[in-house]
Amino acid sequence: MDLRDSPDEARFRGRLRSWLADNLPSEPEPATLSERWPYMLAFQRKMYRGGWIALSYPEEVGGQGLGLMEEAILGEELGRANAPTMIPLGHLGRPLLSHGTAEQRRRYLPPLLASEEIWCQGFSEPQAGSDLAALRTRAVLDGDEWVLSGQKVWTSYGAFADYCLLLARTDPKAVRHRGISAFVVPLRTAGITVRPIVLANGDEEFAEIHLDDVRIPAENLLGKPTDGWRIAMDVVSYERGAVDVGYLAKFDRYLTELAGLVRASGREPDRSTLQTLGEAAAGLEVLRMHCLRSLSERVEGGSPGAESSIDKLLMTRVEQTLMSAGLELLDDVTTPDRSEWFDRYLYGRAGSIYGGSAQIQRNILAQRVLALPRGPRA
Amino acid sequence: MDLRDSPDEARFRGRLRSWLADNLPSEPEPATLSERWPYMLAFQRKMYRGGWIALSYPEEVGGQGLGLMEEAILGEELGRANAPTMIPLGHLGRPLLSHGTAEQRRRYLPPLLASEEIWCQGFSEPQAGSDLAALRTRAVLDGDEWVLSGQKVWTSYGAFADYCLLLARTDPKAVRHRGISAFVVPLRTAGITVRPIVLANGDEEFAEIHLDDVRIPAENLLGKPTDGWRIAMDVVSYERGAVDVGYLAKFDRYLTELAGLVRASGREPDRSTLQTLGEAAAGLEVLRMHCLRSLSERVEGGSPGAESSIDKLLMTRVEQTLMSAGLELLDDVTTPDRSEWFDRYLYGRAGSIYGGSAQIQRNILAQRVLALPRGPRA
Amino acid sequence: MRFALSEDQVFLQQTTAEVAAHLFADSAVRSAASDGGALRADAWKKLTELDLVGMLVPEDQGGAGGSVTDACVVAEVLGRFIAPVPYVATAIATASLLRLAGGPAESLADLAGGTAYAPLLDARLDIPVAEATIAFDWTRGAWGVALGADGRAAVHALAEDAVVDDIDPLHPLRRVRPVPTGAPDSEAARRCRAIAWTGTAAFLTGLADGALRQAVDYAGQREQYGQPIGSFQAVQHLCSDMLVDVETARSVTYGASWAVEHAPIDEAERLAASAKAYAGPASLRVCETGIQVLGGIGVTQEHEAHLRLRSAHLHDSAFGGTDAPLALLARRAIENG
Amino acid sequence: MRFALSEDQVFLQQTTAEVAAHLFADSAVRSAASDGGALRADAWKKLTELDLVGMLVPEDQGGAGGSVTDACVVAEVLGRFIAPVPYVATAIATASLLRLAGGPAESLADLAGGTAYAPLLDARLDIPVAEATIAFDWTRGAWGVALGADGRAAVHALAEDAVVDDIDPLHPLRRVRPVPTGAPDSEAARRCRAIAWTGTAAFLTGLADGALRQAVDYAGQREQYGQPIGSFQAVQHLCSDMLVDVETARSVTYGASWAVEHAPIDEAERLAASAKAYAGPASLRVCETGIQVLGGIGVTQEHEAHLRLRSAHLHDSAFGGTDAPLALLARRAIENG
């Protein structure tokens, strides 16, 4: 155990901290996504130019050749500096790196990492949510083109993206997950319609993608045919680690804000207030420590396994505890702070649904970590 | 809606209240079951002689020919008067009443209701807990005798009982619950061994019953062969109604005691204390109202159905809320009050297990009340 | 003792449900969040015509002369349909205050005739002790009603400030210039508070009931892994827990609905406080679980589940949240302990 | 940064588990509840011989000179086996106090040699501000240790009163004639409190881990409805929730175990407080769920599950329960908010 930075890590953190001090935007983050998008994008590109993005990618594809540890330090420092929300792209580059041809890596990775081309993830479908292997979007090879038809939902930032890493069924005879392949789909292709999904809190982060006889070149297949499922599971497990997606920093910011509002109320906090706020604070420390542990295990042992479902369930639990604390402590329901917190709470309800529902995560843990016997379904 | 007593009910309540005022034992209820048993039994017999037991049974078997409403009033008044714990026998007389021969009713019901002969329930087995239909105790007809072999567990007051209403498999070829019959088994019969089960809190309320080639007369079959499952379900659903088992009165007593301890502490209750105590109090009112509603539905619609699983889950929830409240509010862990409360809390852990675990109750509600589709198991 | 709705009440429940199904289709409720109050106005007119708005107003003052239980039957059905109308606020809480705490008789008749009245609360949505600043479930042009310092219900023209509808757009709050009030100390005022708690509990129960019905329907149809998700034990148990919450909230609510009119004030308050403190959190649990069963669609504006959850939050907060009723219950227990 | 046990620590974990499996078989633990301290005495002797008792005592004072993380590794394993020994109380909390808060050097060496020492707490099992009345996890003849008014750890001969062991017979409390103490205000005293919190969290994590292992074993073997109960989704999800609690409690505990020795005092306290406030309720949830999975047998004295739950309750209450660490966390957040 040593939670201190190594000398290299400390140097990295120091450089990053001073870069952030000089380069953070002075204007606050806009509230609506349509205004926030250019703001986020501008800062993300600036960070890339500064050498702070794609830290753990090889230098030849535009990364910094550093490690997961530096990625984690980045997340911490962004949170500490109250920096703009990052657009989560890193996990989408992973399958290009691991399964892409040399040409695909050269063509796609640098602009992806530079945020010059925005990528999104086309996995879920209306009939394939928790049961991803039931996906129905089909891809048929017609000469030197794949022809894709189907519908994707829950695509983060789909309305802003240029490319989609998309799963489609290429072998309709193979059972479920065996017949699936992954594709690089340029979203400007004819036959594609993108429609935003408005979340309960008004956010338009997600989109639906409709594909109607969309023709893409044969070389846009990623990996071999039927590699799709493995690619998807890889992406999903990267997505489940809290550090990658920068949630910890966001939660830290929320807690600081909530504690500030309690202080600003001028009321001496009673025991119930201390318990509520204390539980939220403890939750964040647990999440932070668990993320460090997972990170350390990944640094030593490679890509995360089924245990990442623990991270996901913990993240949901901590988020929902924090949101409930906010609703309880901000009891003047007519203030804008309460209203913003309520939006966060609503957004938090999605935490136990997307990226594999809480029920699916528990199935994974029971069967793949605890090795409990499968039910009659198997 | 009318929660008032009818004139008849009010007269009944008045008579009962004054009888209790005159007849309650002056000594407090002993703490250990071995001392408590004669104390309980003496008071229960006194109540029977006073005409306050078996209220809803017909007069010809020793009952009072009244209704469920009077049973409920009895429960309320016993709680209000802080009367000794009742031995729950009423639900065991029901199958004798509904399935017994005239001779069985004449022979068994009056002493059962008078608490002159104590009855217990031999349903669960080591390998048949939640899955009662898996029971293995066998009964084979040999001439004019049934020969019983097997083992029963979780028999309430088994160590004090004279008779056991016992389920055994009479048709080993029939599938599961179709091959089960119910028997009246005198516990003094050769081949029977009763061993108390000591609960975590030290209580010896439950027992194991071992049956080793126990011979009982052929006429001790209750109902027709293979009526056993229906009889069992009947008993279980009676058992699930909170009113019958007198829990409400006990919880009321606990709450009053807890509130008294909070008052005696002399500390001005803070908000957290008010919330904790208030939630326990609200839970009791919910339980009381839900019991009244269930009672009213039973008075109008006959025997309780699958909905009684709601009563059971509510009772467990209210009990566990109350117990947690006690542990939280009695924070001086060295006092005898805290220690007694801790024993109640431990006992309360059994609430979600016995009489069908919380998981089984939820299955019943999902499948039989909400009519959700059965899983692949069906 | 009889704990059941009368035949008339069952009929009232059915007819209200028919009217509500017509007025408050899911799509209509979704658009009501941004229709500038159009559905609210139409629906209120219809409910007024059907004598449901004047339920608690005596017949000789133009009302239906119904019981609190009758009003709770209506409120529960409206909750089930997430009806964007101020039934609890106006037809139950305000009508009781005007009637029981000696408000102007003409206002009561006016309310039964469909004129907008809103109860005045403090910034935490509690019943004010000295000063009200919020018109609860406000309609354009509404009069405000609060207990005066003399212990009598008074009607106020409102000097209006910002509308707050970002928690629940179906039941807007309006900040108003502060109105001095009395504390709810008299028996009449306490009974009014108990009626407001009970009516709110009925609406919360209805919200939860709707979430349960929707979850069960969806779980029976939606297939994953080749079978309806409702056949998975995890989903079944979520639904069973919702059922327990709905039915038990219903029990305490209807018990309270009787007690607030017929029982001595202490018992009335104890049951009403229990109903409010229990139905609020129960309804929130059920609405949240309902969203979990619906999955992704449940967290979008394409589905009305979020409006249901928003309404549950607002009504859970109303009339003192859970804090006020829990404190009352705890203090009573301590006094008697 | 490296968040993982060292090879030595993994070895320590394995050897401690082997020793514990030998000493604390389920049946031995069950009889320890009424053996008059026999197992406790034997086991303490063995743990002393193995240098585990003196883990936090410097080598030149007869100890093993180990880290708090080392001590937590041992405490966690002992928790897993419900070991009826005062490891947290004596080898972690008291040893730290004697060492860091300037206690008599000879007592520290004496402790490492197996002599009984118990930390002195107040009646709520919190660290006393002015007066101690309870010897925590008391052994016959034990010396009491508490912070004196001068801010230094002091050793007291105890004037003993009643034994309180009805919550957890494996870890008795002993009332003692009141001992005046100082408040834990100095940095050394605060660090000692943080170490006590962390060690307790490790024991609580181990208790939970044992409950999880037992539940998973049982669920894989026990059959109902013709299949192992562990194949039912409801049971699987109970076990998964237990796993999440165990692993996350472990993460925060080991993070804290490092911080209490190496981080600035504010960070050390924040992590230790989080570990204590999180591991206590998590362990209670897991021990309760474990009993639910075991079913009937779990609530009897024929199984040790109730002893596990009892120990979890006692340790959850120890050193200020969850209230003290939560208040610390909240006040820090408010100061920095």
Which of C225, C233, C239 is the best residue to mutate to test the D interface, defined by the most D CB atoms within 10 Å of its own CB?
A: C233
What mean pLDDT do residues C132-145 have? 96
Whether B377 has a pLDDT exceeding 50, the answer reads: no
Same domain, B125 and B46: no
Bridge partner list, D144: D118, D156
Same domain, B334 and B271: yes
Same domain, A248 and A364: yes
Sign of the four-CA dihedral B262, B267, B272, B275: positive
Kindly report the backbone phi and psi dihedral angles of residue C156, in degrees, each rounded to the nearest multiple of 5, phi listed first. -125, 135
Residue C182 maps to a domain: no
Residue D173 maps to a domain: no
Q: Distance from D84 to chain B by nearest Cα, in Å? A: 17
Residue C88 maps to a domain: no
Amino acid at C99: R
* Residue of A353, A313, A348 lying closest to A327 (CA atoms): A348
Lowest mean pLDDT among A53-67, C90-104, C115-129: A53-67
For D227, the 3-state DSSP assignment is strand
User: Which residue did the predictor score with more confidence, B130 or B285?
Assistant: B285
Whether C288 has a pLDDT exceeding 90, the answer reads: yes
Residue D90 maps to a domain: no
Whether D187 has a pLDDT exceeding 80, the answer reads: yes
Rounded to 5°, the CA angle A160-A162-A165 comes to: 105
Q: Output the pLDDT for position C279.
A: 98
Closest to D243 (Cβ–Cβ): which among A275, A293, A369?
A: A369
The token duo for D188 is: 């050394």
Q: Distance from B286 to chain C by nearest Cα, in Å? A: 5
Q: Which residue of B has its CA nearest to D225?
A: B131
Q: Which are the contacts of A340, defined by CB distance < 8 A and separation ≥ 6?
A: none
Residue D55 maps to a domain: no
Residue D328 maps to a domain: yes
Structural domain span for residue A280: 240-369
What mean pLDDT do residues B4-29 have? 95
* Residue of D124, D126, D58 lying closest to D95 (CA atoms): D58
Q: Which are the contacts of C278, defined by CB distance < 8 A and separation ≥ 6?
A: B282, B283, B285, B286, C201, C248, C249, C252
Each residue of D3-26: pLDDT tens digit?
999 999 999 999 999 999 999 999
Q: Output the pLDDT for position B239.
A: 65
Q: Distance from A149 to chain D by nearest Cα, in Å? A: 35
Q: Output the pLDDT for position A303.
A: 63
Most confident range, picked from A66-75, B353-362, C130-139? C130-139
Chain A residues in contact with chain C using a Cβ-Cβ cutoff of 8 Å:
124, 127-131, 134, 153-154, 197-200, 202, 206, 327, 331-334, 338-339, 342-343, 346-347, 349-350, 352-354, 357-359, 362-363, 377
Q: Is the CB of C301 less than 8 angstroms away from the CB of A202?
A: yes
Closest to A377 (Cβ–Cβ): which among B270, B271, B376?
A: B376
Rounded to 5°, the CA angle A243-A248-A252 comes to: 160
- Within a 10 A sphere around the Cβ of C175, how many other Cβ atoms? 18
What is the Rg, in whole angstroms, of the alpha carbon atoms belonging to chain D?
19
Rounded to an integer, what distance in angstroms lies between the CA atom of residue C41 and that of residue C46? Answer: 9
User: Which residue did the predictor score with more confidence, B34 or B323?
Assistant: B323
Residue B2 maps to a domain: no
Chain A residues within an 8 Å CB radius of D243: 310, 365, 369-370
Closest to C333 (Cβ–Cβ): which among B9, B277, B362?
A: B277
* Residue of A320, A294, A312 lying closest to A358 (CA atoms): A312
Same domain, A257 and A193: no
Residue A377 maps to a domain: no
Please give the sequence-ordered ranges of beta strands (E in DSSP) within chain B, or none if there are none. Answer: 119-122, 138-142, 145-156, 163-169, 180-186, 192-197, 206-217, 221-222
Q: Note the pTM of the prediction, 2 decimals.
A: 0.95
Q: Is the CB of A333 less than 8 angstroms away from the CB of C225?
A: no
Kindly report the backbone phi and psi dihedral angles of residue A8, in degrees, each rounded to the nearest multiple of 5, phi listed first. -60, -45
Chain A residues within an 8 Å CB radius of D259: 3
Rounded to 5°, the CA angle B208-B227-B304 comes to: 85
Residue C89 maps to a domain: no
Same domain, A337 and A245: yes
Whether A59 has a pLDDT exceeding 60, the answer reads: yes
Q: Is the CB of D240 less than 8 angstroms away from the CB of A365?
A: yes
Report the neighbours of B using a cutoff of 3 or more CB pairs below 8 angstroms. Answer: A, C, D
* Residue of D332, B278, B277 lying closest to A269 (CA atoms): D332
The token duo for A123 is: 């996995």
Whether B203 has a pLDDT exceeding 70, the answer reads: yes
Same domain, A211 and A281: no
Q: Distance from D237 to chain C by nearest Cα, in Å? A: 8
Interface of C with D in 227-256 (CB under 8 A): 232-234, 237
Q: Distance from D225 to chain C by nearest Cα, in Å? A: 14
Q: Is the CB of A333 less than 8 angstroms away from the CB of C173?
A: yes
Same domain, A74 and A133: no
Same domain, A189 and A292: no
Question: Which sequence positions of B are flagged as catalytic?
Answer: 239
Distances (CA, A) of D60 to D63, D72, D106, D108, D155: 7, 22, 12, 11, 21
Each residue of A77-100: pLDDT tens digit?
888 888 888 887 778 898 999 999
Half-sphere exposure of A123 (CA within 13 A, CB side): 24
Indicate the length of chain A as a whole number: 378
Percent of chain B's residues with pLDDT above 70: 96
Kindly report the backbone phi and psi dihedral angles of residue B272, in degrees, each rounded to the nearest multiple of 5, phi listed first. -65, -40
Percent of chain B's residues with pLDDT above 90: 64
Same domain, A254 and A360: yes
Each residue of D35-93: pLDDT tens digit?
989 999 999 999 999 999 999 999 999 999 999 999 999 999 999 999 999 999 999 99
Same domain, A250 and A358: yes
What mean pLDDT do residues A229-235 have? 87
What mean pLDDT do residues D117-141 have? 96
Residue B378 maps to a domain: no
Q: Give the helix ranges, DSSP H, for chain A.
A: 7-23, 33-50, 68-80, 90-99, 102-113, 228-240, 242-245, 247-264, 271-301, 308-329, 336-349, 358-364
Q: How confident is the model at residue B79 (pLDDT cuts 50, 70, 90)?
A: confident
Report helix, strand and coil shares of chain B as percent, to nearest 5. 55, 15, 30
Q: How many domains are there within chain B?
A: 3
Please give the sequence-ordered ranges of beta strands (E in DSSP) within D221-266, or none if there are none. Answer: 223-224, 227-228
| Max intra-chain CA distance, chain A | 74
Structural domain span for residue C225: 188-336
Lowest mean pLDDT among A37-51, A75-89, A215-229, B191-205: A75-89
Residue B72 maps to a domain: yes
Q: At which residue do the structure tokens 């000469």 appear?
A: A143
Residue D327 maps to a domain: yes
Half-sphere exposure of C141 (CA within 13 A, CB side): 6
Residue A268 maps to a domain: yes
Q: What is the CATH number of the domain that holds A314?
A: 1.20.140.10
> In the listed set B169, B197, B225, which residue is the last one of a domain according to the structure?
B225
Q: Output the pLDDT for position B141.
A: 95
Catalytic site residue from A71, A77, A205, A239: A239
Lowest mean pLDDT among A2-16, B363-377, C195-209: B363-377
Helices A271-301/A308-329 angle, 10° precision: 160
Q: How confident is the model at residue B242 (pLDDT cuts 50, 70, 90)?
A: very low
What mean pLDDT do residues B248-269 have? 91
Chain D residues within an 8 Å CB radius of B154: 296
Rounded to 5°, the CA angle C142-C144-C145 comes to: 135
Percent of chain C's residues with pLDDT above 90: 94
Please tell me what DSSP assigns to residue B373.
P
Q: Distance from D273 to chain A by nearest Cα, in Å? A: 8
Q: Output the pLDDT for position B72.
A: 84
Residue A94 maps to a domain: no
What mean pLDDT do residues C73-87 have? 98
Q: Is the CB of B3 less than 8 angstroms away from the CB of C4?
A: no
Lowest mean pLDDT among A29-33, B35-39, C91-95: A29-33
Complex-level ipTM: 0.94
Q: Is the CB of D296 less than 8 angstroms away from the CB of B334?
A: no
Residue B112 maps to a domain: no
Same domain, B177 and B280: no
Q: What is the CATH number of the domain that holds B56?
A: 1.10.540.10
* Residue of A175, A247, C226, A178 lying closest to A167 (CA atoms): A178
Q: How confident is the model at residue B85 (pLDDT cuts 50, 70, 90)?
A: confident
Q: Output the pLDDT for position B241.
A: 55
Q: Is the CB of D329 less than 8 angstroms away from the CB of A290?
A: no
Q: What is the CATH number of the domain that holds B218?
A: 2.40.110.10
Q: Is the CB of A286 less than 8 angstroms away from the CB of D270?
A: no
Q: Output the pLDDT for position A242.
A: 45
Helix (H) or strand (E) holding D119: strand D117-121
Rounded to an integer, what distance in angstroms lies between the CA atom of residue C52 and that of residue C62? Answer: 11
Q: At which residue do the structure tokens 């081949």 appear?
A: B191
What mean pLDDT do residues D151-178 have? 93
Rounded to an integer, what distance in angstroms lies between the CA atom of residue A41 and that of residue A44? Answer: 5
Distances (CA, A) of A328 to A86, A275, A348, D193, D331: 29, 11, 15, 30, 17
Q: What is the CATH number of the domain that holds C217?
A: 1.20.140.10
Residue B1 maps to a domain: no
> In the listed set A66, A87, A108, which residue is the last one of a domain according to the structure?
A87
What mean pLDDT do residues C109-122 have? 97
Interface check D292 vs C, CB under 8 A: no
Same domain, B214 and B255: no
Q: Output the pLDDT for position A240.
A: 59
User: Which residue did the predictor score with more confidence, B172 or A118?
Assistant: A118
Q: How confident is the model at residue A283 (pLDDT cuts 50, 70, 90)?
A: very high
Distances (CA, A) of C247 to B178, C244, D263: 33, 5, 52
Distances (CA, A) of A255 to A263, A329, A341: 12, 12, 11
Indicate the length of chain C as a whole number: 337
Q: Output the pLDDT for position A301.
A: 78
* Residue of B363, B131, B351 lying closest to C243 (CA atoms): B363
Q: How many domains are there within chain C?
A: 1
Rounded to an integer, what distance in angstroms lies between the CA atom of residue D164 and that of residue D176? Answer: 11
* Residue of A354, A363, A331, A163 lying closest to A258 (CA atoms): A331
Report the neighbours of A using a cutoff of 3 or more CB pairs below 8 angstroms. Answer: B, C, D
Closest to A131 (Cβ–Cβ): which among C166, C224, C235?
A: C224
Whether A281 has a pLDDT exceeding 80, the answer reads: yes
Q: Which residue of A has its CA nearest to B275?
A: A272
Chain A residues within an 8 Å CB radius of B275: 272
Please tell me what DSSP assigns to residue B241.
-
Chain D residues within an 8 Å CB radius of A273: 330
Half-sphere exposure of A300 (CA within 13 A, CB side): 11
Q: Which are the contacts of D142, defined by CB distance < 8 A and separation ≥ 6?
A: D116, D117, D118, D135, D158
Which of B1, B82, B320 is the best residue to mutate to test the C interface, defined by the most C CB atoms within 10 Å of its own CB?
A: B1
- Within a 10 A sphere around the Cβ of A16, how many other Cβ atoms? 22
Closest to D239 (Cβ–Cβ): which among A258, A263, A372?
A: A372
* Residue of B236, B352, B176 lying closest to D294 (CA atoms): B352
Q: Which are the contacts of B248, defined by CB distance < 8 A and separation ≥ 6?
A: B75, B76, B79, B242, B284, B287, B288, B291
The token duo for B174 is: 């029939």
